[in-house]
Amino acid sequence: MSRASVVPVSVDFAQTERFRYVLRLADTSLILGQRLSEWVGHAPALEEDLGVANISLDLIGQARMLLSYAGEIEAAGRDEDQLAYLRDQNDFCNLALVEQPNGDFGCTIVRQVLIDVWQLELLSWFDASTDQRLREIAAKAVKETRYHLRYSSGWLVRLGDGTEESHTRVQTSLNDLWKFTTELFTPDEIDRLAENAGVAPNLNVLRGSWLHRIDEILNEATLTRPDDVPYVWFGKRGEHTEYLGHLLSDMQYLQRAYPGVTW
Amino acid sequence: MYTQGLDALGDESLHLPEEELAELEAHFQAKIDADEKIEPKDWMPAAYRMTLIRQISQHAHSEIVGMLPEGNWISRAPSLKRKCVIIAKVQDEGGHGAYLYSAAETLGISREQMIEQLLTGQAKYSSIFNYPTPSWADIGAIGWLVDGAAIMNQIPLCRCSYGPYARAMVRICKEESFHQRQGFEIMIRLCEGSTAQKRMAQEALDRWWWPSLMMFGPDDANSKHTGQSMRWKIKRFTNDELRQKFVDVTVPQAEFLGLEVPDDALVWNEETEHYNFGPIDWDEFQRVLAGHGPCNQERIRARIDAHESGAWVREAALANAAKQSKNL
Ligand SMILES: [Fe+2]
Ligand SMILES: [Fe+2]
């Protein structure tokens, strides 16, 4: 067997699917960054205002690189802002987990740990992607994400193994958010094509390492991993929870109210 | 409250014999006159310490409360670049608060005590942050005018006699001048833009002009603290001197933008080579200071809410730290 048939060349991964795949990554970072920024000025302590702002900035920075790349793939002249501000809810393809409201600080931390580990596993894998741009973007983002996970898992351990109240609060948030993790590892057509093209990892394999790390963190935080439940939202296919519409109407307000001007 | 901090430091100067005290004071003033820095371990008069605690903590609180009016536009920033800039700016202000709390702590008061004073209304913060930000242009106007005025006030503080405060200000001033430029850039973009954008910019200038002039404090005739603070080199210029400087620098910038400064009496004075400007509404200043500005309640409520709803998080962090140290 020739090498080419083992590792399919990335050309097989058509433009529309590649656009869609990169957009998923971009939207997930963007919506999470937007959510986190809601904390700035309202966090439990000054250091947390600064910490959360840092993570939010990194994520929006990643989103900008990915959106620009998506725009180039699409080749329809849309830049990062047109993609961020002028798409409707059903064209957004972020994971439903990241559009969930912040809740209390513990809930934000639970959501962050779940997504940080996912991003860390994924970005690390991209080092071997056949997509050169993704490799480059991931090389920068993976360092940031390592820091994000240190921050979020540090807090999850503190809150899980803190007071009785904090333990109960984060366990409840974990129970509530767990169902959204199903989407992370349930491949659809685009995920499969991306995997076949060597652009993205096998999600089942990714789930194994994700779960391993999550279990380690939950263990240290004295938290119990909830059972998997069948219900699932598919944000990545544009099927969103009710929260995303409100987030977008807020985020996109100026661009929508004053079309065609520069800021 | 302050006296608690002083007791904790074992400040016993009140019990010293008079001659000894006079000698310490003379030595202290001589150091200041020679432009030497006073450091935390040095002897200092109780009133100097108290003045600094009041001023630095007020300054820190202003940075923290100042995160709120601009934070109001983080979620709605009109481009991703602007969003990053505004998040980073608000984050900088939080950082300024952190350095300043640390500088104040060197004088024997804790951050917890200072925050308590803010939340209970015992400590003040800059009144400017009690004004609202109804439009995106307010973010431009705040950067341009409020950070601009803050720089005028703060540059001289880089040479303040108290070492930790002076050093904190050097770092802060660098970032404030970034903020000022970024704000001005927002204004340029709006003023080059559509009719609606220009209108937004003009309305923001109308809202922020007078409150910005008030940021320099009461006029010299009514400024309680100026004399002593100048002798101690905590302050280097009077309120009116700094205000004049701000007007002189800012009016040409407004002209460059094509905006109209909302003051009919504003005119260039050939003789003095300064702008003459109209009277400041000191009643408004006093009203806002007394808690009756447009957003006083909202600002302090937001700080109290953040503090109260974060209490369980801070408790958990302490409880976890205690467990960790037991395990060591
Ligand atoms: Fe500041
Ligand atoms: Fe600033």
pLDDT tens-digit series, residues A192-208: 999 999 999 999 999 99
The β-bridge partners of A261 are none
Q: Is there a domain that residue A3 lies in?
A: no
A79 in a structural domain? yes
Residues in a beta bridge with B275: B268
CATH number at residue A74: 1.20.1260.10
Assigned domain for A8 exists:
no
Tell me the mean pLDDT in the region A167-193.
96
The share of chain A scoring above pLDDT 70, in percent, equals 95
Q: How far is A235 from A241, CA to CA, in rounded Å?
A: 8
Q: Which A residues, 69 through 128, put their C-beta within 8 Å of a C-beta on chain B?
A: 80-81, 84-85, 104-106
* A255 inside 8 A of chain B by CB: yes
Cα of A161 vs its chain's centroid, Å = 26
Distances, alpha carbon A253 to alpha carbons A120, B20, B285, in Å: 32, 67, 34
- Determine phi and psi for B267, rounding to 5 degrees: -155, 145
Distance of CA B281 to the CA centre of its chain: 21
B326 contacts in chain A (CB < 8 Å): none
pLDDT at residue B13, as a whole number: 61
3-state per-residue secondary structure call for A117-161 = HHHHHHHHHHHHCCCHHHHHHHHHHHHHHHHHHHHHHHHHHHHHC
Residue A263 lies in a domain: no
Residue B245 burial (CB count, 10 A): 16
Task: Return the number of other C-beta atoms located less than 10 Å from residue B46's C-beta.
Answer: 13
List pLDDT tens digits, range B277-327: 999 999 999 999 999 999 999 999 999 999 999 999 999 999 999 999 988
Q: Where residue A3 falls among pLDDT bands split at 50, 70, 90?
A: very low
pLDDT beyond 80 at B3: no
**Average pLDDT of chain B to the nearest whole number:** 94
| pLDDT for the residue A5 | 41
pLDDT confidence band for A35 (50 / 70 / 90): very high
Cβ neighbours of residue A171 under 8 Å, at least 6 residues apart?
A160, A223, A224
- Closest listed residue to residue B61, CA positions, set B143, B139, B117, B145: B117
Q: Residue B269 pairs with which residues in a beta bridge?
A: B274
Closest-approach residue (CA) in chain B for A221: B320
* pLDDT digit string, tens, across residues B69-120: 999 999 999 999 999 999 999 999 999 999 999 999 999 999 999 999 999 9
Tell the burial category of B7 from Cβ atoms under 10 Å away from its Cβ (0-12, 13-18, 19+): exposed
* Chains A & B: contacts with CB separation below 8 Å: 141
Q: Quote the CA–CA distance of A151 and A50 in Å, as a whole number.
A: 12
Written as six digits, the tokens of A242 are: 């009710």
Model confidence pLDDT, tens digit, residues B129-179: 999 999 999 999 999 999 999 999 999 999 999 999 999 999 999 999 999
- Across the interface, whether the CB atoms of B87 and A37 are under 8 A apart is answered yes
pLDDT of residue B225: 75
Chain B's closest residue to A103, CA to CA, is B309
Ligand whose nearest atom lies closest to the CA of B63: 1
Lowest average pLDDT, out of A5-9, A226-230, B153-157, B284-288, goes to A5-9
Q: Quote the CA–CA distance of A163 and B317 in Å, as a whole number.
A: 8
Distance CA A178, CA A185 (A): 12
Residue A68 lies in a domain: yes
Whole-number Å distance, alpha carbon B75 to ligand 1 midpoint, is 20
The whole-angstrom distance between residue B317's C-alpha and the CA centroid of its chain comes to 30
Is position A177 within any domain? yes
Number of domains in chain A: 1
B77-93 in b/e form (b: 16+ CB < 10 A) is bbbbebbbbbbbbbbbb
The two structure tokens encoding residue B151 = 């720089």
Residue of A60, A78, A59 whose CA lies nearest to A19 = A78
* Res. A167: pLDDT tops 80: yes
Euclidean distance between CA atoms B274 and B278, whole angstroms: 13
| Residues of B whose CB is below 8 A from A106 | 313
Query: What number is the average pLDDT over the span B2-31?
Result: 73
pLDDT at A6 over 50: no
Q: Mark yes or no for CB contact A166/B319 under 8 Å.
A: yes
User: What tokens appear for B300 in the block?
Assistant: 């302090």
Q: Which domain holds residue A186?
A: 13-257
- Mean pLDDT along residues A84-109: 98
Residues B143 and B185: their CA atoms lie apart, in Å, by 9
Q: What region does A258 belong to: left with phi over 0, alpha with psi -120 to 50, or beta?
A: beta
Per-residue model confidence (pLDDT) at position A12: 56
Query: Token pair for residue B258?
Result: 């094509």
Residue B8 has pLDDT above 70, yes or no: no
Q: How confident is the model at residue B12 (pLDDT cuts 50, 70, 90)?
A: low
ipTM: 0.94
Q: Are A258 and B197 in contact (CB under 8 A)?
A: yes
Rounded distance, CA B290 to CA B296, Å? 9
A47 part of a folded domain: yes
Closest CA to B128 of B31, B49, B177, B58: B58
Place of tokens 């603290």: B225
Residues 15-74 of A with CB under 8 A from B: 30, 34, 37-38, 40-50, 53-54, 56-57, 60-61, 63-64, 67
Q: Which of A46, A57, A165 sits opposite B84 (nearest CB)?
A: A57
Lowest mean pLDDT among A211-215, B11-15, B75-79, B223-227: B11-15
Distances in Å between the Cα of A192 and the Cα atoms of A4, A52, A133 are 18, 34, 19
User: pLDDT digits over B210-259, tens only?
Assistant: 999 999 999 998 887 778 899 999 999 999 999 999 999 999 999 999 99
Phi, psi of B38 (to 5 degrees): -90, 130
Tokens of A50: 């600064």
* pLDDT at site B14: 63
Tokens coding B9: 């430091």
In 3D space, the residue among A227, A42, A199 whose CA is nearest the CA of residue B298 turns out to be A42
A34 located within any domain: yes
Q: How far is the centre of ligand 2, averaged over its atoms, from the C-alpha of B276 (Å)?
A: 27
Q: What are phi and psi of B276, to 5 degrees?
A: -85, 140
Mean model confidence pLDDT for chain A? 94
